Structure formats: structure tokens, C-alpha cells
Structure 1
Amino acid sequence: MRKPLLATMLLFGLLSGLPAQDFILQGCYWSCPEDAPGSLPDSATLEFWVDHLTVQSPEFTHAGFTAIWLPNLTAQAPQQVKKLIQNLNRQGLTVIAEVDLRQDSLGTLSEQGTALNDALGVASFSITDRAHFPAEAFAADFKALLERGIEPKFIIRGSPDFDRSGQQVRWMRNTLKALGEKALPKPRIYDYQLREALRKACSDTTYDVRRVYRSSIRDTSALSGYNIVTLANHPAYKNQNAQPADYDNPIEEPLLAYAYLLTNNQIGLPSVFYGDYFGGDSELVEYAEKKPLRAHIDQLMAIHRQFIFNSTLVEYLNATDSGKRSAYYSGDSTRALVFQLEGNSTPAGLQSRTQGARDVLVAINFGSDTLSLRQEVNTSNIKAGDYFTDVTAQSLSQKAMLLPFDSLDAEPSAVAVRVPPRSYAVWVQGRAQKITPSRVQLTANPYPDYIELNWEVAYERKVLGYQVERSVNDGPFEQIGQLPPLANENESASFLFLDKDIFQGEDLRYRIKLIDKEGRFEFSPVAQTTPVQRDLKFELIEAPEQHSCTFKMKSNYSGQGQLVIYDANGDPVFEQPQTITKGDNITRVDLSRLDKGIYYLRFHAEERALWSTKVVRL
């Protein structure tokens, strides 16, 4: 029996899903948290970072980031910083400045916020606050900021002791009460307790990762995800208290933490640390030997935008108190997170209303063994014959069919999935392709004689060139052409390529290989097509009057044909080459040299007769 999607789930309301199309990038560039507020490096170092972030900004936007946290911004920032903020704004990135309220001498939120807004145009703030700062006083200060005409898109509050005692939740409830339920914009708090659970899940092999379900602010307090920002790492996590393996240590391998934060849209607005994103390319000393997580994070954000954004419900399928059954063939139940998101109101779900819902399954394996299990799922949106497709291409079960959980079940209600050690996968209900984030977007437009390839490039920084690759009838991809960049650097570019070496009936797949000046490359998503069938339509528009007749031929291609006139005995008496052009072709046939009688006009092309009509020479 199918049950409604209710148990161990979080409900925002039928149409209210968390606006998680926003993603925050936060990092430490020209200064560090232990430096004095507002301190800046020497001018050469500052100029390097300003230029570096300006060049990278199109990449941030293309990946899906909508906001960027910058450290130690002050109203006295030099001109280079002001120019950087302007460039980031032009790329559609909201700049978030840090505001320190721990010392009265630094000024209130409204005072510091107004100064930052007047000097730099910044109107979003991440606040480092005293743990016991009264909520009513903060609400009054926030209202004063709004009265000055400054409406922050983001205003996020944190406390220096990382909220180990849970005081932030009480503070937030009191703040919302003081502001009023209808007050906009809504303030947010960092979810430090979820971050600590994820730190343990990633670093402690004895930790039961299912405790993550019961650790987030949203799960434990029912505080709306609209008021929460989630995080894995942050510049402040540097083991500043010199205590090993505690709350302010960085997560050394945070990929699985991000897999959870970027797929569970109910728990809060995700943030990503710059050092984790770029790894050794971040230019941060402590990340020099780290592998970048950029490709994984870009893919997860793309999956989120298409299949998860606006999902209103999540069910923790393998939680200890879940009513859903799990059977583990390998791997450890204490080292896996398996959950399901409804897909009715997501962008993909709304696009496939006639084909059914697009629920999402996520499995994250924190264990050192392959996770292989049969998991009962919620079948509210699922029917017999349904299946799930892995859009990450990281699982060992690309297609997960709906099947009975055991031999006693009359109806299918479970899926079998396999995930490698220390990995994750995301399955989407129904047919789906692997999500391949790329700055190259390719379209293939078919014609009878050629395929027109068009691709858009979001930005051309460091691009050396583009290779056009084609696969015929599921064969290997082979290069068929190449084009140089337009050298637009941080601007978009458009390209056109015609593939004329094609044959009717071929199944063609294309992709663009972008090669950069450092020898790296990325592929566009694959575009699949087949040549359009050649089509000729004929119409006799003027029957013979005395010595001629006229017919119209409409074609969807250009080529050559042959007009042949036969007598009543079937013998050819006249032949004439005919050029075929796209569109309407009007042909007048001279019959003056023929004797009176019955004749047949036939048009030959592509080695066969395509049209025949009878005419009478009067």
C-alpha cells in the first residue's frame, strides 16, 4: 500500500521550497581571521588578489554562485577593492561583507552597514556577534538599517564560540518575534551543529553518520531553512584553540559533507569555501597540496538547480527511526545516508507534468567498503515499471529499477543501489542523462545535407581552442574539426560549425572539447541528432495549353535531379538536368517539339523516380 510522503520529512508548504538556487562562495583571500579587522596586505599582494578574483568572477557566476563573502571589508578600502566589488556586481554576484559587533567601539550594525554601503555599495552582511547579544537590541538595530533604505539580500549572524550550546536558535526565534513574522528580508544563522556532525562523519570512522539527520538546526528545532546557512569549511576553521579533533578543526576531506549540503535543500542555504573549491589552485598556502572539489561541486549545484530546487519534502530513508526497510549486502548501515526528495515542484518535475514526478534519491557512502543495499522508498509518486537514473555517473548501478523489497511483497517498493567507498550518487526518477557542467553549451540542428552545430561559451579565459568531435552510430568520438577562440577572455562567445560529411539514417552525437592554455580540457554536454530526411513535394500548377506545362517542386535541401519525358510506350523522348534548391522550384516544360499525344513526366533524384504525372500534348 502506498503511503503519503510524511514520515521523518520536513515540510515547507506545498509551493514554498527553499530558494536554494542561491549559493554562497566564501573564502580567505588577502587577509585571515586572526588578522586585525580591516587589515590589508601590501599593495602588490592586494592587486594580485583583486585581479585574480576579477578574472575568476565569470566562472563563479557560470557555476551557479550568486553571492561571494569577502573578508575584512571596510569603508576605508582602497580603490582597487571598490573596483573589484563593482566587477563582481556586474557579474551578478552579491558581495557579503563581514561586520564585527563584538566591540562597541566598532559601531552598531546600522552604523557599520551604512558606512559599507555608502563607500562600497555593499548591502549584505555576515555578522560576527557576541554570543549573548540581546535579540531585541539586534532587531532594533536591523530596523534602523532598513529605515536608512538599505535592504540586505543576505544578513547572516554567527557567534565566535561556534554556538556549541545552541544559543543561536533561541536568539533567532526571539529576533524573528521582535521583527515580526512579515518582516523582510529574513535574517539567517550559520548551522554550526550540523557542520560539527558532518566533520565527525567525514573524519571519525566510528561515528554513526545517521546522527547527521538529527543534527541540523532545521531537523532539531523546526526553524525554517529560510533562516539558515549551512557550511562545511570556512577560513575560521584553523584549529585556533590548538585542540585536536574538535569543532574548530577543518574538515580535511569535505567532499561528502558538500554532497549532503548541496542535495538536501530543506536544511538551509549552502555555502562553499573557496579553498575547498579550488584546492591547490586557490593560492591559499594551507591548500597547496589539496585536490580541487570544483568539478564535483559544480555538478552537484547543477543537479540541485534542475532536479532539487523547490522540492518541498525530504524523507530520510535509512534513519534509525524510519519506517522504511533497508537490507545491506555490503557496507555499513552506520556509515551511509540515503534519502529521497519529492520531484513534483522542481524545475524538472514541472517540465514533465504529463510524464509524472521526478523524485530524487541520494546515497552518500562514508564507509571504506562498497555500499550495496536494497532500500525501500516512498512510492507516493512512483508506479510499477518506474526506475531511477544516476545523473552523477559515480554509482555502480547506473539504473535502479523499482522492485519488491522481498519475496513476500506483492508490489515493487524498493531499489537496489551500489556506491563505491567514500563516494556518493544521485538518481533521478525516469530517463535522465549525466549532468556535465560546462561553460560550453552545444546545440545540433539537423538538415538533409549537413548538421549545423552552434555553441555558446560563457567566458574564454585561458582558452587555447575548440575541437569538434563526432560519434557515428554509438561509435567512438573522433575529431572532425577545430576552431580558435575569439579571445574574449571574460566575455561570452558564439561559434558555428557545419558538418557536411553525413549520410541519411546515421545516429550522430557531437561534443565540443575546450582546451585551455595549461593543457587541461573540458567537454560540452553531448548533443544527439540524425539528418533530416530529404523531402520533395510536387504539384502540377499549369496543365499543357498548347506547347508547355508548369510544375512546382518544394524541397528541404539543395541538389541535382533529372526531368525525363516518356511517350505512351514508355520510351524516353526528352531529358533535362534539374537543379534543386531549398524552397520552391518552378519549372516550365517545353512540349513544342513533341507530337500530339499522351506523355509522362517523371522526376528522378537520388537514383530513383520521385514523381510522375501524365500530360497531354494538344
Structure 2
Amino acid sequence: MKKLLLLYAIVCVSFLGKAQQVFMQGWYWDYPKTANGFSWADTLRLKAPSLATAGFTHIWFPPHAVASFGTNSNGYDPKDLFIGNQTTGLGTRAALNNMLSTMSAQGIAPVADLIYNHRDGGAAEINPVVKAYITNFYTAAKEPYPSDRFFCALPVGGTTGNGAGDYFFKLSSKTGDNRFNGKGYKLYMQTSLVGFGGLPAQNEAEPNGGGDCGQGNNTITLGRDMLGTIETTTGCNTDEFKLTLANGQFNPAGDTIFIYMNNTNGYADHRFYGIYSTARATDIVNELLYMTYTNYNNMASGRGQMNYEFFKPNSTNASTTFLNGDWDSFLFFYDYDQFQKRTQDTLIDWTKWNYDELGVRGIRMDAVKHFTPQFVGRMLDSMYKYNKIPSLVVGEWYDANPVVLKNWVNDVKTNMSAAAQAAIQPKVFDFTLREQLRQASDNAGFDVRNVFTGSLRDNQGMSGFNVVTFANNHDFRDASGFSSLIRNNNDLAYAYLLTNNQIGVPTIFYPDYYGYPAPSGGLYSYHPTNLPALKTKIDSLIYILKTYINGSPSIDYLNRFSTPYTSQYISGSANKSLIYQLRGSAANGNRDIIVAINYGTTRLQVNHQINTNGGAITQGVQFFDILGNSAFPFQQVDALNRVYIDLPPKSYSVWSQNSLILPVSLLSFNGVSANNKVNLQWNVNNEINVEKYEVERSLNGTSFSAIGQVTSINSNNYSYGFVDAALPKAAALYYRLKIIDKDNSFKYSEIIKVQFNVATFEVNIYPNPTATNNIAINIETTNTTALKITVVNNVGQQVISKAWKVTPGTTNFPVDVSTLAKGTYNVVVDDGKQRITKPLVKQ
């Protein structure tokens, strides 16, 4: 019974519990982006079948709105919410659609990372409300409006009355608050005719308070940075800058002096309180315009239109906006005003579009501390009203305070109807428990029993239906402390999360499952280098959760603080052990489950009393070691109602009362090409009621067809083989197994790829999408060959055809697309051995 039978856990669907959700965060911070030639959407699509087989029910994929920072962005800077046919860091729109449809086909609910708190990358527009906030309504009790989110414009030329001459710009702190004293800033001005000149920055010379202070001033030059410092503790506390605008430096028919006042070491509240024009002999500061990048009325998707009225502050709240702390400070980009109905309506419409258009079935909400739970409640009410029921909704509040996390869930539910609450359970990530698990793994002096009291369920009495648990995620990128990844024995954290069904929906972090990329070229510098991939262990734990633990109605922490259960530690200690018992249920044949996790550096040997469930468990009852990690294959209850636990350091195991439920395990699946054939082989363990294995093949890893089948012999250990001799022409082929039970239920294996030694070429199109009449098709190849290039429209008609010869290296071929109407086309490149198809969008 040693190392018993669960490894790799590819299990027929008839054995999987359907009620237990298991959640994967399917990405990490530096995941490969399309800007660097990758398609993460394809990565997740190809892994979806094996993840479904392992028991995952939900996959959280990266933010997919078009980002203001381009296709190398993680997407937390959303610009165009509705995507259209645009490419994001995740992949093309076609790749996104394929990923989502594949997940859904595999029974996995795609979970979108939706950013409801801010937006970025709009066009510039005049914003009179920001001007009013900065110049009139801002006080020392509020936070300054971030200087990198606005700029100023002074109209000159035309009918403005402002032309050549001297202008004196008077700048100071609005409040004179000492917290801004000594803050640096960068002042820059230009016109349409004079831009950045490449000159080194000037440094402000003090004192320069100008005429208001009986002092001189500094001369500022168009197109050159001026570096200054805010004063709030000296007499005048003013900086004055003289700009001499000469003829030839602006368009006399109408122009603008654009003015930027960015901070260099933290936001401050400086602004211009005066602009004196010598030509007009008056102060013209009221003519200064304030501008923000908040015009979203011309997005490529044609949807999600917004202007400054959708953000904070706006005309309904300029005087009452309180930019302060976590709630309303502008930490990132432009902050939505979710109290505005028009903002609510647009964001709710976007959520419904994700559900209907993309097939998203779960929602992960970023940074919920930065917007009102009232909006979340109303959004979920609206989803319910229109029968769009997400199966998982979770908010991220980056805080380990359990009261704060609980209150957020309660506040959301308060703003939901009773019917919506019954259909949709809002959840929150349990940062409190996560911190306890990090301390248990990384802090040698930590008493790990704090884990028992550290969850939202055990600390605050929350229902696990309102909690998502996790060990690591993309936000943990520091070397140590609260914001660090768990750096040692993260498998022990997952052992707890996946064997305790009371504390919430468990989340698995992609690198914990598949392995962390090694630090390289500045990337992944925060990644641990000592953590192995946990796929095998996690697959086994998921199987245990679904087969043995799902449905358990209660848990008893046997070695908790102030435990009523006696123990005799022969080796190891209580403060480095987690020992607990889950009550059996009808779902698992009424078998109680015992779990032990040894965080210690020494062998754990303990006789520990258990819960006899009112005498139902008596002397002589046996608990069998499911994982085989213990020194013995089973425990037996003694006369003192104790069981003996014997575990190595830094390990865990799970024991089932009376008997085991055996799975079918696919231990390996591989393929090798030789002599124009592909030899497939797979090894299995513990087949029970398996009817047959259908072998399926694909040219693209998405569309599969059956090419043969092998009958199961239902063995404890067997190796199967299949030969694919009728190979189509391709550079690579994809294979998977359809594992079919005798009751006709089935499950898919992972997808494997078999590469052939044929000449290959790569194709790229520039620009794409294109609004021009000419594109370039870039061909990179390793041999000399003739290519046929065709452009096909969306009904399959060939609209352009070319024949070219290429030699080793990279060749660019120009193509005239002026005759093509706006729309989506496919560019097909064929050398007679392989064919590559790339989408082309004509705008």
C-alpha cells in the first residue's frame, strides 16, 4: 500500500465529485506576452483538457481588456473594455475566443479578471471639474489630484489676446501643508511649434518668489524641463517662472502653451495661482485650462464610451470628492465614480457582454477596497435579473484584517436582493489565512497551530461559500514579508487548503502547479529557486478532496490550542503539527478522514486521541493511508481512542476510515515519430470499469477527431500502445486520449505534441490591424522554397494570390491591400508541406 495509487490523478468523470469547486489562477505576473511573440491564451487552451481531468472547475485568466500600455501589459490599465478584434497581452481575439470555448467544452468555467476601479489611456479633453477641485475645493484634509493625470493648457494666438511677450507663472502649494515641504516637481512647457529640445534639465535657483515676494524669478525655456522644490515653511512659499514667448514659437492663427507639472518624489498639491501677462497687463490664470485623458468616445471597439463625468471628481461631486486613503485616493489611473448611474450602467453592461459574448462564467474583481460594495451588489443583482449567473464571484481586498474582509462580503450582500444572494454567493480572498500559511512555511519560530484560527471561517465565523483560499498569487513579488511568495515547502500549504473543505474554495497558483520560471534577464527575480512543480502532489490532493472530503459536514482540529484530546509525542511537537479530522458523509460512504501535516524538521511520531463521533468509532477501527507517506499503511484506534501518526519532516498524509476508494491513474502518455509513423504509449494504474481508450488526433491542438481505439483490460498496472501510420502532412501533430467508462461517461487526457523534422517557416504581418493600403508579409525560414500566398475573406473567397520564392533568413514581401474592404481576412502561406494561417484586419 506504500505510495498508494493516486499519483497524477487522471480520473474518469464518474469518480469526480461535482459540487466541490477547485480554482486555478492560470497566470503569473511576468507571464509571456504577445509583445514578445507568445500567446498565453493558447497556453491555457492546450492545458484545459488535462486541468479538467485533474479536477479543476474554474480557471482565472489574465485581464483581457485592451491595455493603455500595449501588448506587454498585464492588463490592469484597461483602455478599451470591449476588445473588438484587437490583440492584448493575453493573445489575439481569435486566440481568446478559442481558449474560452475550449475551457467551456471541458467543463471549466472561465473566470475573468475585471477591473472595476479605474481606466486609463483615453484621449485628452478639457476637464473643468478637475480645475475646480484643484483650485477651489481641495483642502488639507484631502489628497491632491495626481499631477501625472492632468496637464494644463493656455490658449495663445487667434482671438485669445495672448501673443508674444512675457508671462510670469506663479506656483505654490494650495494648502501650505508641511507634509509637502521639500517635494520636488518637474515643470515643462511647449507649443505646437516648439517641442522637447533634448537639452538637460534646468534647476530652479532660489529665492525665486517673484514680485509677490520682492524676489527674482527663474526663466523657463520652451521644450526644456525645469526642476523645482515646493516650500511651505518659509516666508513666501512661492516659485515664479518667467516665460518669454517669441514670434515664431507659436502659431499666430491659434495655438496652445501646454504645461506639465509632474511630481518627482510623491504627489503634492502645487498649482498655478497666477499667470501675469505683461502684454495685457493683467492676471490671466482663469484662462488656464485643465485637461485629463478621460475621453473614451472613440475606442476601436465602438463601445464603452465615457468622458470625465464618469470619473472622480465630476460635476456632481467636485466639492464633496474626498480623495484620501485606500478608498478614494488616485493610486492608479483614472478612478471611476461608481455612484454615478451612467458609470454603473457602462460597467454592468461590460460584465454582461463578457458573459454573453465571451462565455465568461466567473468574475475576479481587482482591488475592491477602491470602490463601493454597493456597486458590486447592484451589478450582481442585475446579472441575476437577466439570468446571467456566474458560478464564482470573488473580490480581492489586499489586507490580512479578517474583520475588514468579512465586512466587505456583508456589505455586498446587503446591497443584493434575497433572490440574488441565493443564486450568487459573493466571495473574498482569504489573505488572513494566507499569511498564517506563509508564516508556517517560512518562519521557523512560528506556532503552526495559528493556521487553525487564522481563516475567515474559523476567525470570523464566515461560511466557506463566501471565501476563496490561496497560498500564492501574482501580487506577491517581494523577497520577504507579507508581500512575498511562500518560499519554502509550499506543498504543505496546499495540503491544508485541499484537505479542509470548510474554509472556502481552494485556489492553485499556476507556477506552484507547473513550476516557477528561473530568474532570467531581470524577469522573475522574485521567484523562489528551490520550489519544485507540485502538479503530481496537487492532482492527488484534488482527487482526495473530491473523492473523500467533498460533502464532509464538519471538521475537528485535534491538536488545536486548548484541545480536549490527549496526545503522546514521541518525536516532533504539537506547535509544528496540524492534525485534524473530517466527519464522514453519504458522499464518501460515511468514512471519517484524518489529516496530519508535519511542518517540523524532525520526524513526527505521536499517539493522538481522535473524535469517536459519539462512540461510532471504536477500538480496532482502522484508517488507511491514502497517500502512503506514513511509515505504516494504516492506523488502528487503540483502547484510549488514539491513532498512531508517523510522518517524515516537512510532509503530510491522509487516512480514510475502513477502506479506500481507488481511482484510475494515467501515469504517463507520450508519442514518438519514426519511419513516417507515430508510436503512442500510455501507462495506467488501477483501472476500474474503464471500457476503452479512444485515440484522437489534431492538426492544430484544438479540433480533434478519433483515429482508433484500444480496449481496456482493467488492470492494476498496464502499458498500452497505438501506432498512427496514416499521417497527414504537418510540422507537428497533437494527440489526446478519450478515457471512456462502462457507463459511457468519459474524460480527456492531457494533449501531447509530436514534432516532425521538416523545414519550417514563420509568418508575421505588419502593420496588423492596418488602416493603410500596404502591408508587409515577413517570412522567416531555414531553407529555400516556393511559397503560395493567398488572402481569403470571411466567406472563404480568395481575394489576393501571390507566388514567391524564399531563401534562408528573413524576407519582407510588400502586398497592396487597397482593394480590400474593411473587415477580417485570413492570410494563408503554403509551401506544399505545411500551411500557416494568420488573421489580417483591414480598418
TM tier, smaller: 0.5 to 0.7
1:66 maps to 2:57: yes
* Aligned equivalent of 2:607, options 365, 368, 374: 374
Let me know the Cα RMSD of the aligned residues: 3.7
* Aligned equivalent of 2:95, options 64, 70, 80: 80
* 1:188-237 Cα distance to aligned partner (Å, 9 max, x none): 11111000000000111110000001110000111111011100111121
* Aligned equivalent of 2:406, options 169, 172, 187: 169
Q: Which residue does the alignment assign to 1:36?
A: none
Higher relative contact order (CA 8 A, sep 6+): 2
Q: Which residue does the alignment assign to 1:150?
A: 388
Question: Aligned partners of 2:46 and 2:395: how far apart in 1?
Answer: 30
Aligned-partner SS, 2:21: coil
Letter in 2 for 1:63: A
Question: Aligned partners of 2:45 and 2:382: how far apart in 1?
Answer: 33
Q: Which residue does the alignment assign to 2:623?
A: 388
Cα separation, partners in 2 of 1:168 and 1:228, compared to 1, 3 Å: same
Cα separation, partners in 2 of 1:20 and 1:421, compared to 1, 3 Å: farther
Cα separation, partners in 2 of 1:141 and 1:516, compared to 1, 3 Å: closer
1:492 maps to 2:738: yes
Question: Aligned partners of 1:143 and 1:327: how far apart in 2?
Answer: 54
Q: Which residue does the alignment assign to 1:44?
A: 37
Q: Which residue does the alignment assign to 1:572?
A: none
1:201 maps to 2:446: no
* Aligned equivalent of 1:111, options 329, 345, 349: 349
Cα separation, partners in 2 of 1:132 and 1:517, compared to 1, 3 Å: closer
Q: Which residue does the alignment assign to 1:127?
A: 365
Deviation for aligned residue 1:173: 1.6
Deviation for aligned residue 1:466: 10
Q: Which residue does the alignment assign to 1:99?
A: 114
Q: Which residue does the alignment assign to 1:303?
A: 544
Deviation for aligned residue 1:27: 2.8
1:189 maps to 2:428: yes
Q: Which residue does the alignment assign to 2:48?
A: 57
Question: Aligned partners of 1:295 and 1:329: how far apart in 2?
Answer: 31
Deviation for aligned residue 1:495: 11
* 1:135-194 Cα distance to aligned partner (Å, 9 max, x none): 3343123223333442211110112x3344641211212222332454221111111100
Q: Which residue does the alignment assign to 1:27?
A: 26
* 1:245-274 Cα distance to aligned partner (Å, 9 max, x none): 322110123100000000000000111011
1:332 maps to 2:570: no
Q: Which residue does the alignment assign to 1:438?
A: 666
Cα separation, partners in 2 of 1:495 and 1:310, compared to 1, 3 Å: closer
Once the two structures are overlaid, the 10-residue window that deviates more, 64-73 or 95-104, is 95-104
Deviation for aligned residue 1:492: 0.9
Deviation for aligned residue 1:110: 1.4
Cα separation, partners in 2 of 1:200 and 1:162, compared to 1, 3 Å: same
Letter in 2 for 1:113: T
Cα separation, partners in 2 of 1:79 and 1:517, compared to 1, 3 Å: closer
* Aligned equivalent of 2:595, options 342, 362, 384: 362
Q: How many residues align?
A: 443
Question: Aligned partners of 1:208 and 1:112: how far apart in 2?
Answer: 46
Deviation for aligned residue 1:133: 3.5
Contact 2:117-2:370 within 8 A present in 1 as well: no
Contact 1:391-1:433 within 8 A present in 2 as well: no
Aligned-partner SS, 1:101: coil
Q: Which residue does the alignment assign to 2:503?
A: 267
Q: Which residue does the alignment assign to 2:534?
A: 293
* Aligned equivalent of 2:646, options 414, 418, 439: 418
Aligned-partner SS, 1:489: strand
Contact 1:390-1:434 within 8 A present in 2 as well: no
Aligned-partner SS, 2:104: helix
Question: Aligned partners of 1:432 and 1:495: how far apart in 2?
Answer: 20
* Aligned equivalent of 1:136, options 374, 386, 392: 374
Deviation for aligned residue 1:494: 6.3
Question: Aligned partners of 2:597 and 2:574: how far apart in 1?
Answer: 11
Letter in 1 for 2:26: G
Question: Aligned partners of 1:436 and 1:420: how far apart in 2?
Answer: 27
- Trace 1:238-249 onto structure 2 (pairs within 5 A): 238-239=477-478, 244-249=479-484
Contact 2:691-2:712 within 8 A present in 1 as well: no
Cα separation, partners in 2 of 1:488 and 1:28, compared to 1, 3 Å: closer
Give identity over the alignment, percent: 27
Letter in 2 for 1:294: K
Deviation for aligned residue 1:332: 1.6
Deviation for aligned residue 1:123: 3.4
Aligned-partner SS, 1:142: helix
Letter in 2 for 1:348: N
Letter in 2 for 1:428: S
Q: Unmatched 5+ residue regions in structure 1?
A: 1-17, 34-38, 350-356, 406-412, 446-452, 497-513, 519-618
Cα separation, partners in 2 of 1:454 and 1:91, compared to 1, 3 Å: closer
Contact 2:46-2:751 within 8 A present in 1 as well: no
Contact 1:441-1:457 within 8 A present in 2 as well: no
* 1:400-429 Cα distance to aligned partner (Å, 9 max, x none): 011023xxxxxxx11011011000000000
Q: Give the structure-1-normalised TM-score.
A: 0.64
Aligned-partner SS, 2:37: helix
1:348 maps to 2:594: no
Deviation for aligned residue 1:489: 1.6
Question: Aligned partners of 1:194 and 1:444: how far apart in 2?
Answer: 38
Contact 1:330-1:370 within 8 A present in 2 as well: yes
Letter in 2 for 1:387: Q
Deviation for aligned residue 1:288: 7.5
Q: Which residue does the alignment assign to 1:600?
A: none
1:218 maps to 2:457: yes
Contact 2:571-2:602 within 8 A present in 1 as well: yes
Q: Give the structure-2-normalised TM-score.
A: 0.48
